[in-house]
Chain A
């Protein structure tokens, strides 16, 4: 899933780059046309059509610019979309506060985006207790996102407990990877 997001982000970035190149060309074209304003004004209908076409192009450019900016913002967040927890702990750790703030700020600036906090736990409990622990980790992550600017309606919380472990070893290296909340943008 993470690879898919990363791939989409990269595609968006590439598209954005392509758009900004053509935007630059159009800006140049606009400058050229305004310096020849006498010639252009002689033909009103042609001017009207050109103006409409230029406006449409400007709108498209603005949207492409916005998409590029969003893609850049998400690219900045994508590699850091998980927060981790010590054993049997569900509070956000100091070391993860920057990541959470970044996502919270992003959501605050993009009120239409929705995120999901997916909680997990390591296997050292019963499956039901671990489901509850994962849920509480997800809830605390949501609270921190809201404190950082997200709207409560923007964030859903779910838990997978110990049911979808990232690592399956009976050792701390695996357990540490599983004590985690993933912030995803479905």
Chain B
């Protein structure tokens, strides 16, 4: 089939580090830890100011109250006079040193000003171009130390950006920086899905005239056409061991769920209904799937063994329920509920079956958990524009992430990446 020139794959370009998402935070966690973050010695020499990136990261969680250092600027523990800091509980100080070959070393300390102890003392070195990554690593360490949960500042997200007639599949840092376009074309793109170690992205592309599933390596940009059976091929979801994917095919009748190896071999059908079965997603231990089905008359969420067989209906509230995703600890799932003509993001606990609606309602769709289970990313709309948003898993802290250009849809949060 003739491939039109509208398909352009952009490789990882050296984009200037600028904010492509405008981020607004509302709400606060149940407890906010006061922290003063002092500009690091030598950070002005870098394009990105490390202390500013750390502050933005911690501020976005709603769990920290930033305390103004009021001009005080110690850079080493021996220079800290704890009596100067009655308004805070914690203090972050550090130094940036330029090494040879364009490398920098960053040393930082996290101090408890109440007990007057050192909580963290670390040195990180990397290429100068990785200043933001170093800052995110430091923010992760501070977050982990003070909240007990791993930070997600070094993780990435994927989404589709629509601008005019063009659709772009984008991978970016969780704060929107470092946008990397995997695919750019006029035909639609849907359902990006991260492989378990963040090395590949599966997605649906209409570049050949109808929905087909591709899997693309983020490192090499190479991709394989995973499923191009007659009809629609869609809804890819990776198994936790990364060896296979669940997909939805229509070549044998209505939309049904299949498993397929990551190289496209060994296709097996696991749902056998005459209704729409779609949006499969694996449990963290790989033994169950959640999926959306209208086998009961309306779109609802069901749970089934990965081997197929009996499917248990889980959702009974609202008109319809779509797009389930397990929490990383496997104890609950997030989904989109359609009720009274509006879409809401909700979480349901497996054992108690209690449903908690986390958002005010609108065009809120396609939720996914951050890999620490503390935040949920979803697509919504403000003033007619498609934007991204997050809500903390307790519903208290909300973020709006507005793109400078275009509409964003189909977001999905990536996994922890082993350093």
Contacts and interface: CB of A to CB of B under 8 A. Distances in A.
Contacts of A164: 188
A80 B232 CA distance: 25
Contacts of A129: 276, 278-279, 292, 294, 299, 322
B210 A126 contact: no
Contact of A132 (B188, B209, B232): B232
Contacts of B85: none
Interface in A120-177: 123-129, 131-133, 135-136, 139, 157-161, 163-164, 170
B272 to A, nearest CB: 16
Nearest to B384: A170
Contacts of A158: 209-211, 231-232
Contacts of A170: 363
B289 interface: no
Contacts of A128: 190-191, 234-235, 248, 278-279, 292, 322-323
B323 A126 contact: yes
A132 B211 contact: no
B232 A135 contact: yes
B61 interface: no
B188 A135 contact: no
Contacts of B338: 124-125
A132 B255 contact: yes
B206 A160 contact: yes
A81 B231 CA distance: 20
A126 B292 contact: yes
A132 B254 contact: yes
Contacts of A125: 299, 320, 322, 338
A126 B279 CA distance: 9
Contact of B190 (A131, A133, A136, A139): A131
A161 B188 CA distance: 10
A23 B298 CA distance: 60
B410 interface: yes
A88 B232 CA distance: 19
A122 to B, nearest CB: 12
B206 A127 contact: no
- Interface of B (DSSP majority class): strand
A133 B191 CA distance: 16
Contacts of A127: 190-191, 365-366, 409-410
A132 B276 CA distance: 6
Given A128-B235, A136-B254, A160 B278 contact: no
B152 to A, nearest CB: 24
Contacts of B36: none
B169 interface: no
Contacts of B363: 123, 170
Interface string B223-265: 0000000011011000000000000101000110000000000
Which one of B235, B276, B320 has the highest number of Cβ atoms from chain A below 10 Å of its Cβ? B276
B336 interface: yes
Contacts of A139: 250, 254
A42 B278 CA distance: 80
Contacts of A163: 188, 190, 206
A126 B232 contact: no
Nearest to B253: A139
B234 A131 contact: yes
B320 A159 contact: no
Interface in A29-62: none
A18 B72 CA distance: 92
Nearest to A126: B322
A159 B210 contact: yes
B347 to A, nearest CB: 17
Which one of B231, B232, B234, B278 has the highest number of Cβ atoms from chain A below 10 Å of its Cβ? B232
Interface in B5-43: none
A126 B209 contact: no
Contacts of B298: 88
A125 B337 CA distance: 9
A136 B232 CA distance: 10
Nearest to B188: A163
A131 B299 contact: no
Given A126-B365, A128-B191, A129-B292, A159 B299 contact: no
Contacts of B234: 128, 131
Interface string B349-366: 000000000000001011
B248 A132 contact: yes
Contacts of B292: 126, 128-129
A135 B231 contact: yes
Contacts of A159: 210-211, 231-232, 250
A132 to B, nearest CB: 4
A139 B276 CA distance: 13
30 contacts: A124-B338, A125-B299, A125-B338, A126-B279, A126-B292, A126-B323, A126-B365, A127-B190, A127-B410, A128-B191, A128-B322, A129-B276, A129-B278, A129-B279, A129-B294, A129-B322, A132-B232, A132-B248, A132-B254, A133-B276, A135-B231, A135-B255, A139-B250, A157-B231, A159-B210, A159-B211, A159-B250, A160-B206, A161-B190, A164-B188
Of all A-B residue pairs in the complex, the 4 with the closest CB atoms, nearest first, are A163-B188, A132-B255, A126-B322, A132-B276
Given A128-B190, A132-B248, A136-B276, 15 more contacts: A88-B298, A125-B322, A126-B279, A126-B322, A127-B365, A127-B366, A128-B248, A129-B276, A129-B294, A129-B299, A131-B190, A135-B231, A135-B254, A158-B209, A160-B188
